[in-house]
Structure formats: C-alpha cells, structure tokens
Amino acid sequence: MSMLTPRTAAVIGVKKETNDVSTYVFRLNGDTPFDFKAGQFNMLGFHGIGEAPISFSSNLLDDNGFAHTIRFVGNVTEIIRSLKSGDNIQVRGPYGTGWPIELLSRRDVVIVAGGIGMAPLRPVVLKLFDGKTDDRFHILYGSRTPGDILYKDEIKEWKSKMGSRVLVAVDEESDDMGLVDVVGVVTTLIKKVDVDFKESICLLCGPEIMMRFVARELIIKGAAQSNIYVSLERRMYCGVGQCGHCQIGAKFVCKDGPVFRYSDIKRFSDTML
C-alpha cells in the first residue's frame, strides 16, 4: 500500500472546548500499534472530501489512543464537527518533526501559545508536569476572548500548581474573566516572566503574526534565535515532502517541520516571522 493511502480510526471520545473547537480522541481500528512525538501531526480526512494536517494535542493515550483539538473552519473539519463516538475517520501519519523535548530538562522553558496554538503545545506541557520536578517552566497563553480559551479545566489546575508561572491574556474582556491575568496581547505577558532568557528554551505556537512579535520580544529580552522554536502551518496534500505546497524556502514544513528553530526558518521569504 502506498503511504498516501490512509488507515481508518474511530472516535472514542469527544470534548467540547469552545463554540468552534472540540478535542477528539481517536484510535486506529484493528488494535494497530501507534506512536508519535509531541509536535508531530496527522493528515485527517474522509474519502470524497480530502485531508487536512492537524497536530496531536495529546501524548500517546491508553490503548494507543491519540487526541486532536480541532477548530471547525474548513471542509474536513466541518465534517469532523459532526462525528460522534464510534464514527470513523481516515488517518495518515504521524508526520513531521517534534518539539525538542530532549533539550527541556535542566533548562528554563518558556511556552507561548496563541489561540488554537495551545493544542500542539499541550503534549509538551503535560510532559513537563509529568517529568520535570524543578518547575522551571512558564506558560503564556493569549486568546481572543475568555470564551476562546482551550483546556479551561486544565489551565485552572496548572495555575493552581504553578501560580504566576501560568499567565493568560485576552484581547477582549467578557463576563467570565476567571482565568485571565491581563487584557492585552500575549507579548505583554513576557514582561511578567522572571527568568534568564539568555539560557531559556522558548516554544511558540500561534498565528504567525503573533509569533513574529513574541519572538522579537524574546530576542530583545536576550533569548538566542536558535533557542526559539516555532510550529508553523501550511497548506499540505501529502505530508511527506512531495506535493510541494508547504515549502518555505528550502524547508518542507511537513517533513522538516512543522517545528523549526526560528533562526532556521526566518531567513526565508513568505513567512510573517
């Protein structure tokens, strides 16, 4: 079978996150073993519709399950919106590189997420809570409105464990400001972080324009360009470096990324970085 031929997976759980975002737990049919790294993605799709690249939003779950947090904005994701437990979906993957997990121990880690960009970073956060005992990490999360914040229960839990090391900013105020620390863009949170940025590893995911300003702020604070990692999104048909759509300069986002060192990808045109 060609690598362009998908496998079938079933939905084993759905959790509504916001009005247009839900988290789905899938498992490949037929007890197929599955493994992946935080930061990688799957091509999810349906016959007759097409495929879309979606990052994992969990680490490997019990019984080879895996989660994707999906915003309903396109042909494929609108079909996913209608899925219930037991429904099937086509899956190809895992594809791409992952976050540099091996670099995170004994270093300060600054995680900056914007909007749905929290989803690819969630597996990293879970790994850090799981394995890192020195609590040397910070989570900065920007969201349009309080209603758009993903993983609200978990963020509440993270805040209770980590205090001011987990900070949330929103662009617009609303009635439910329980999780919110600041009204403003996510870059304003960087000022509130007390770490030596020169030695820190920074992991960014969100709209490219947001990552541009976050990266600049981090560099001004002393972070090295090569210690800033960004996860990018591009149009993709294959996931394996052949359909050509995701290219940024010499990089294929699908197989060289989607996680890049900022210094490796910034040198090319056609990004907002």
Partner 1 sequence: MIVIKTEEFIEYLVSLSANMTVYAPLKQRDQTVFDILKNGDVIQLDYGMTMLSPTRFLFPPRETIFNAENMVKESSNSYIITAKEISPGLLPNKQVIAGIHPHDMHAVLVLDKVFLSGGFVDEAYRCRRENTVIVVMNQTQVWDTCFSRSMGTGPFFNLTEGCDLILTWLGRELLAEPVSESGEDMIKSIKSRKANSMDMAAKDEAESRTASLFKKEFNTNELPELLMRNQDHVIWRMIAEDRCLGCTNCTMVCPTCFCYNTEDENSINLSSTRRARYWASCQELNFAKVHGGNFRASRAARLRQFVTHKLSTWVEQFGCFGCVGCGRCMYWCPTNIDLVDIAKTIAGDVGI
| Binding string, residues 242-271; x marks residues near partner 1 by CB under 8 A | xxxx-xxxx-x--x-----------xxxxx
Regarding 97 and contact with partner 1 (CB under 8 A), the answer is no
Show the CA angle centred on residue 180, arms to residues 178 and 184, nearest 5°. Answer: 150
Would you give the end-to-end CA distance of the chain in angstroms?
Answer: 38
Handedness of CA 108, 149, 117, 94 (dihedral sign): positive
Listed in sequence order, the residues at least 6 apart from 72 whose beta carbon sits closer than 8 Å to its beta carbon are 20, 21, 22, 78, 80, 81
Residues 6-35 that bind partner 1 (CB under 8 A): 6, 8
Q: How many residues bind partner 1 (CB under 8 A)?
A: 47
Number of Cβ within a 10 Å radius of residue 228: 26
- When asked if residue 131 is in the footprint of partner 1 (CB under 8 A), the reply is no
Taking CB under 8 A as the binding criterion, the range among 62-70, 84-92, 138-146, 185-193 that sits at the site for partner 1 is: 84-92
Beta carbons of 98 and 256 less than 8 angstroms apart? no
Q: Which residue from 207, 212, 219, 221 is in contact with partner 1, where contact means CB under 8 A? A: 207
Among 38, 67, 79, 273, binds partner 1 (CB under 8 A): 79
Tell me which residues touch partner 1 (CB under 8 A).
Answer: 1-6, 8, 46-51, 73-74, 78-79, 82-84, 87-90, 207, 233-235, 237-238, 240-245, 247-250, 252, 255, 267-271
